[in-house]
Structure 1
Amino acid sequence: MTDTAVPRIQTKKQLRKTLNISQKEAVASAAMTATSDNFLNPLAIFFQASALQMSWLTAFPQLIGALSQLLSVWLGSVLPRRPLVYITAFIQTAVVMAIAALALINPGTAVHWLLILAILYHSSTNIIQPHWRAWMGQLVPARRRGTFFAARTRLTMATSVLIFLGGGAFLSLSEKAGISWIGFAILFAVAGIGRFFSSRYLYLMHDPAAKLIKSTTIVSGTFKQMMSSMQDKDFRNYSFFIAGMQGMVAISAPYFAVYMLRDLQFTYFDFAINSIASILTQFITLKFWGKVSDRFGNHLVIMITSIIIMMLPLLWLGSPSKLYLIGVQIMAGLGWSGFTLSTANYLYDIRPHRSNFATYAAVQSAIAAVLVFCGALFGGWVAEFSANSTYLQEHLRSTLLMVFCASSFMRILVVIWFLPKLAEPKIRHRPQVLQLVLRVSRFNAISGMVMDWLTVTSKKKNQKKDSDKHKK
């Protein structure tokens, strides 16, 4: 076997055991992400974070987390993959437990400590993700990926929804009892316990690439590919369009929770229901958008969903009604599901043939992280300015509505400027799709459902290939 050959699992028994453990890991990790990613902003609101501090909680963790992917590339060249993943996961366990302790202690500097812990949390996630994807890609046989990841997705989705709803209900009860800090502490402790078991399962899993394949060119080669990718006009326009959209979304991202919990006096359970409406809509409509993009092309889907996304913040101005805002979130789910899917497929189509897809995705993520950072800080300035305006206080039910208007206006500018520049690419031949396989990793207001996704070839096609090999 050469260094570039893909390592294989040693025995069927070992494979079966590892895949079973991986499904348990999916449930355990979902218990963490459903809590940490969805209740971090409500915790900051409980700590009475200012508008500017809320923007920091979006800006700095996103930026430093994205830069951690570069650190992850280097670590992967000097450390074996499996220990790197489970050790980082154990570190993340400690971070989530520290958030639970922070909620219980509630010091005067709680927001600053929460910002530090959020940075560590996102950095850990970004270090783990590239190696986890590569690990699972080598571990799961191609013919079983559809069934395996579909089952894993169902487990993740069910756990996330239950934890989100249960957490919202539990926090609402603790708030009524006047012990919100205990509610948050218990909720994040459960998240930490989930991550602990997740880390233990990762430790028990087999890695077919157990030995480190040392390479002195992996880092320099990656940077060369990143620099050369920006010379491609189509990729450059695409990258700045996606990054621009995410950056303009980040203007308002931290404030939807503030608007609901502080200004509209939603309970935590109401907040959870509102967010889940978008998650479920995205999950349900993904296949629909997949069919539309296959038939009419990704460019059309990007155009339609971009128009939806750029108008979303303005819809929040319509009514404070809970049912109305659930309707807005359903519309958001419809837009984000198609946007996420079509832009990923578009990247596949425009990248040069036989180039590294992961490198192009990493470049786009890095540019987006910088613009998200800038957008979030700008949103914080708009929120602070609006809050200090006596005129806006007298004429608006919430000064945060100005932030929503600013976000929508900036999204419209990005769409008007970049969308005409996105050329309709020549559709590259893709494997026949059996199923869109998703791993829901987290949900936030910046990019809707954040997920790891892949397409797999149909069983019939794989079986035909295997049959042809046997005939030969």
Structure 2
Amino acid sequence: MWLRRTLGLSQKEAVASATMTATGDNFFNAFAVYLQASALQMGWLTAIPQLFGALSQILSAWLGNYLPRKPMVVITAMLQALVVSALALLAILHPQNSVNWLIALAVLYFACTNFIQPQWRAWMGSLVPQRRRGAFFAARTRLTMIASLIVFAGGGVLLNFSASLSVVWVGFALLFSIAAIGRTLSARLLHLMHDPDPRPHPERRNGFRQSMSQLYSSLHDKTFRDYSFFVAGMQGVVAISAPFFAVYMLSDLGFSYLQYSLNAIASIVTQFLTLGFWGRFTDKYGNRIVMQFCCFTIPLIPVLWMLSPDFYYLLVVQMVSGFVWSAFSLSTANYLYDIRPHRSDFAVYAATQSALGALAVFVGAIGGGLIAAVAPDVFARFDIGTGLESWIISPLFLVFAATTMLRLAVALWFVPRAREPRIRRRPGVLQLIYRISRFNAITGVSLDWLSVTRKSRPKDQDAE
């Protein structure tokens, strides 16, 4: 009885939390544009929260050895609700240094999200029966995506309406207030859920030091090291331009907030709908070929953005982008599982790659901010010619050109090093669960693994 009730509460919690995540990952940049953030501040808004988010996961893993996970999750969720409420207050008060306040609150927001993630993953792994995991998380993902898209589209309509009345601050205040209410309800539902393993395990406390040692030693494996540097490098060079698509659409092209939201939704929906296709494709042809496809299509995406400012054309570009990022997200997640050494901890390898990615995003976003800051002066100093002047409609094209060349450089470095690993027999969907943990219209869906369980084998054999 308690299991059925808890699983039902978890599905409701997915909808409640989606009202917050739909705003946090996709309206922060729009809010920063409204607050007139500088190019450097836009870079900081992406760089600093991502770095602190990765650190908070490590902190969570360590504290989980000493503290019960359910109170950690619930208290952090309540803290996150307060952070989002503070964002609504920021929109209302609009104090001096508003952008700096936004960056600080974004740091707390992403720190809370990442702090919860390891504990929530462990909680759900012990809660959901193995035979029901595939169906349960598929249904939960559908609920999350539907709720997120509704909130995202509704947020665009709300901001559009408030802009027509010249009270955009009211729209952002209401949007963040709704998000805070959703997170508060989420925390309440988490509090009501049952935890079948409520106490920490003292016998596992040495595992953290061992994991940190394995984090370091994992990079001695050349295949894994090349893969990690590729994924982290691509994430880093993508972060050069990621903060500035919102600036380009809202400031340079004059898109409405509704057009901005619809543009993002086009990518998100495409990513969600094509994950199944890419899953079947990688099962049949392998992950290496898909990763190579991504290597030479991801660099083209910023170029497509520069070809035309037409709203409907950019919707098509976003659908192409979603198709490519869906392939990248799934193939790199599968490839990581295939190349990890026999009998190794998948979580450790995923954590290593995540930490490298966060560091690369930090460097890339800061670099993108610096390029965007000097771009107007670059175009003012050099005579770029009458023909080019009619095409280059924004100094941000310098950022898009830089990220294109660096994406191509990362791809050219990795392709000759990529190898098709021996395809190990992967656990079935009931044993290895990938779920969409969050999404971003520019950089794709984020896939989070839930659990890898041992197969039934003779006692003298180890399962992978």
Fold shared, TM-score > 0.5 on shorter chain: yes
C-alpha separation in 1, matches of 2:174 and 2:130? 40
Q: Does 1:211 align with 2:199?
A: yes
Which piece of structure 1 moves more, 150-159 or 241-250?
150-159
1:110 to 98, 110, 117: 98
Q: Does 1:364 align with 2:360?
A: no
Count of aligned pairs between the two proteins:
448
Where does the alignment leave 5 or more consecutive residues of structure 2 unmatched? Answer: 458-464
Shift in CA distance, 365/50, structure 1 to aligned 2, threshold 3 Å: same
Q: Does 1:332 align with 2:309?
A: no
Match of 2:423 in 1: 427
C-alpha separation in 1, matches of 2:115 and 2:433? 22
Q: What is the identity, as a one-letter code, of the residue corresponding to 1:236?
A: R
Would the aligned equivalents of 2:77 and 2:183 in 1 still touch at CA under 8 Å? yes
C-alpha separation in 2, matches of 1:92 and 1:409? 38
Scaled by the length of structure 1, the TM-score of the pair is 0.92
Match of 1:7 in 2: none
Q: What is the identity, as a one-letter code, of the residue corresponding to 1:103?
A: A
2:212 to 187, 211, 223: 223
Structure 1 counterpart SS, 2:399: helix
Match of 2:67 in 1: 79
State the Cα distance separating 1:443 from its structure 2 match: 2.2
Q: Does 1:157 align with 2:145?
A: yes
Pairs within 5 Å for 1:357-436: 357-389=346-378, 390=380, 391=382, 395=389, 396-433=392-429
State the Cα distance separating 1:444 from its structure 2 match: 2.2
Q: What is the identity, as a one-letter code, of the residue corresponding to 1:280?
A: V
Q: Deviations over 1:429-449 (max 9, x none)?
A: 013447996543322256311
Match of 1:284 in 2: 273
Would the aligned equivalents of 1:260 and 1:266 in 2 still touch at CA under 8 Å? yes
1:444 to 440, 443, 448: 440
1:176 to 164, 170, 175: 164
Q: Does 1:125 align with 2:113?
A: yes
Would the aligned equivalents of 2:264 and 2:442 in 1 still touch at CA under 8 Å? no
Structure 2 counterpart SS, 1:316: helix
Q: Does 1:270 align with 2:270?
A: no
Q: Does 1:343 align with 2:301?
A: no
Shift in CA distance, 292/378, structure 1 to aligned 2, threshold 3 Å: same
Q: What is the identity, as a one-letter code, of the residue corresponding to 1:418?
A: F
Q: Does 1:248 align with 2:244?
A: no
C-alpha separation in 2, matches of 1:378 and 1:124? 26
Shift in CA distance, 278/447, structure 1 to aligned 2, threshold 3 Å: same
Match of 2:4 in 1: 16
Match of 1:235 in 2: 224
Q: Deviations over 1:316-338 (max 9, x none)?
A: 11100011101111111111111
Where does the alignment leave 5 or more consecutive residues of structure 1 unmatched? Answer: 1-12, 466-472
Q: Deviations over 1:95-147 (max 9, x none)?
A: 11101100111112100000000001111111100111111111101111122
C-alpha separation in 2, matches of 1:456 and 1:203? 26
Would the aligned equivalents of 2:121 and 2:450 in 1 still touch at CA under 8 Å? no
Match of 1:55 in 2: 43
Would the aligned equivalents of 1:253 and 1:445 in 2 still touch at CA under 8 Å? no
Scaled by the length of structure 2, the TM-score of the pair is 0.93
Q: Percent identity?
A: 56
Would the aligned equivalents of 1:90 and 1:196 in 2 still touch at CA under 8 Å? yes
Match of 2:294 in 1: 305
Q: Deviations over 1:375-405 (max 9, x none)?
A: 1111111111112231489822101011011
Structure 2 counterpart SS, 1:431: coil
Structure 2 counterpart SS, 1:178: coil
Match of 1:10 in 2: none
C-alpha separation in 2, matches of 1:291 and 1:263? 40
State the Cα distance separating 1:354 from its structure 2 match: 1.6
Shift in CA distance, 352/392, structure 1 to aligned 2, threshold 3 Å: farther
Match of 2:126 in 1: 138
Which piece of structure 1 moves more, 448-457 or 426-435?
448-457
C-alpha RMSD of matched pairs (Å): 2.0
2:283 to 275, 283, 294: 294
C-alpha separation in 1, matches of 2:103 and 2:124? 31
Would the aligned equivalents of 1:30 and 1:441 in 2 still touch at CA under 8 Å? no
Shift in CA distance, 442/436, structure 1 to aligned 2, threshold 3 Å: same
Would the aligned equivalents of 2:267 and 2:441 in 1 still touch at CA under 8 Å? no
Match of 2:342 in 1: 353
Match of 1:41 in 2: 29
C-alpha separation in 2, matches of 1:227 and 1:455? 22
Structure 1 counterpart SS, 2:208: helix
C-alpha separation in 2, matches of 1:75 and 1:250? 30
State the Cα distance separating 1:262 from its structure 2 match: 0.5
